[in-house]
A and B are shown apart, each in its own frame.
Chain A
Amino acid sequence: MYKYIIRRILIFIPMLLALTIIVFALAQAAPGDPFTGQILDPNIDPEVYELRREELGLNDPVPVQYFNWLTSILSGDLGQSIYYNGRSVLDLISQRFPNTMYLGVFALAITLMISIPIGIYSARKPYSALDYGATGFGFLGLAIPNFFFGLIAIYIFSINFGWFPSQGTITSNNLTGITALIDRLHHLVLPGITLGLAGTATYMRYMRSEVLDVLGSDYIRTAKAKGMTSNSVLYKHTLRNALIPIVTLMGFEFGALVSGAVITEQVFNFPGLGTLFLQSVMNQDYPVIMSMCLLFGVFILVGNLLADIFYCIVDPRIRYD
Chain B
Amino acid sequence: MTNSTVLSVEGLKTYFYLDDNEIAKAVDHVDFAIEPGETLALVGESGSGKSITSLSIMNLIEKPGKIVDGAIYLNGKNIVDLSDKKMTEIRGKEVGMIFQEPMTALNPVYTVGNQIVEVLRKHKKMSSSVAKKRAIELLKLVGFPRAEETIKEHPHQLSGGMRQRVMIAIAIACEPKLLIADEPTTALDVTIQAQILDLIDEMKHKFDMGVLLITHDLGVVAEYADRVLVMYGGQIVESATKQTLFNDPKHPYTNGLLASLPSLDKQTDRLGAIKGTVPPAHRFPKGCRFSTRCPHVMEKCLHANPDLIPESDGHEVRCHLFK
Say whether B271 faces chain A, with CB atoms less than 8 Å apart. no
Contact of A317 with B156 in the complex, beta carbons under 8 Å: yes
Q: A219, B92: Cβ atoms under 8 Å?
A: no
Range class of the B interface residue count? 20 to 34
Q: Contact: A315 with B109, CB < 8 Å? A: yes
- State in angstroms the CA–CA spacing of A231 and B246 once bound together: 47
Residues of A within 8 A of B293 (CB): none
Any A CB within 8 A of the CB of B88: yes
State whether A219 and B90 are in contact (beta carbons under 8 Å apart), knowing that A226-B119, A230-B84 are contacts in the complex. no
**List of B residues within 8 angstroms of A228 by Cβ:** 88, 92, 118, 122
By the criterion CB–CB under 8 Å, are B85 and A225 in contact? no
Q: Tell me if A222 and B93 are in contact (CB < 8 A).
A: no
CA distance A223 to B99 in the complex (A): 12
CA–CA, A314 and B110, complex, Å: 10
Interface residues of B in 74-122 (CB under 8 A from A): 84-85, 87-93, 96-97, 99, 101, 104-111, 118-119, 122
With a cutoff of 8 Å between Cβ atoms, the chain A residues found around residue B106 in the complex are: 219, 222
Q: What CA separation (Å) do A225 and B107 show in the bound complex?
A: 13
Is A47 an interface position by the 8 A CB rule? no
A219-B170 Cα distance, complex, nearest whole Å = 12
Contact digits for B50-88, partner A, Cβ 8 Å, 1 yes 0 no: 000000001010000000000000000000000011011
Residues of A within 8 A of B101 (CB): 218
CB of B167 within 8 Å of the partner chain: yes
Q: Known contacts A218-B101, A316-B154: does B92 contact A226 (CB below 8 Å)?
A: yes
Q: How many residues of A contact B (CB 8 A)?
A: 20
Residues of B within 8 A of A221 (CB): 60, 99, 105
Distance between Cα atoms of A241 and B104 in the complex (Å): 13
Q: Which residues of B contact A219 (CB under 8 A)?
A: 104-108
| A315 proximity list for chain B (CB < 8 A) | 108-109
State whether A241 touches B92 (Cβ < 8 A).
Answer: no
Which residues A240-256 have CB closer than 8 A to chain B?
A: 240-241
Task: Identify which of B60, B109, B167 gathers the most chain A CB atoms within 10 Å of its CB.
Answer: B109
**Taking the nearest CB of chain B, how far is it from the CB of A131, in angstroms?**
15
Q: Give the chain A neighbours of B58 by CB distance below 8 A.
A: 224-225
Given contacts A227-B122, A317-B154, contact A222 B91 (CB under 8 A): no
Contact, CB under 8 Å: A225 / B104 = no
Q: Does A229 contact B (CB under 8 A)?
A: yes
A218 B91 Cβ-Cβ under 8 A: no
Separation of A43 and B109 alpha carbons in the complex (Å): 74
Cβ of A186 within 8 Å of any chain B Cβ, yes or no, is no
Judge if A96 is at the interface, Cβ distance under 8 Å.
no
A229 contacts across to B, CB distance below 8 A: 85, 88
Q: Any chain A CB within 8 A of the CB of B123?
A: yes
Q: Is A237 an interface residue (CB 8 A)?
A: yes
- Mind listing 11 A-B residue pairs with CB under 8 Å? A219-B104, A219-B106, A222-B106, A225-B92, A225-B96, A225-B99, A227-B92, A241-B108, A241-B109, A316-B111, A316-B156
Residues in chain A within 8 A of chain B (CB atoms)? 217-219, 221-230, 237, 240-241, 314-317
Closest 6 CB pairs of A and B: A227-B92, A227-B91, A226-B92, A218-B104, A219-B107, A225-B97
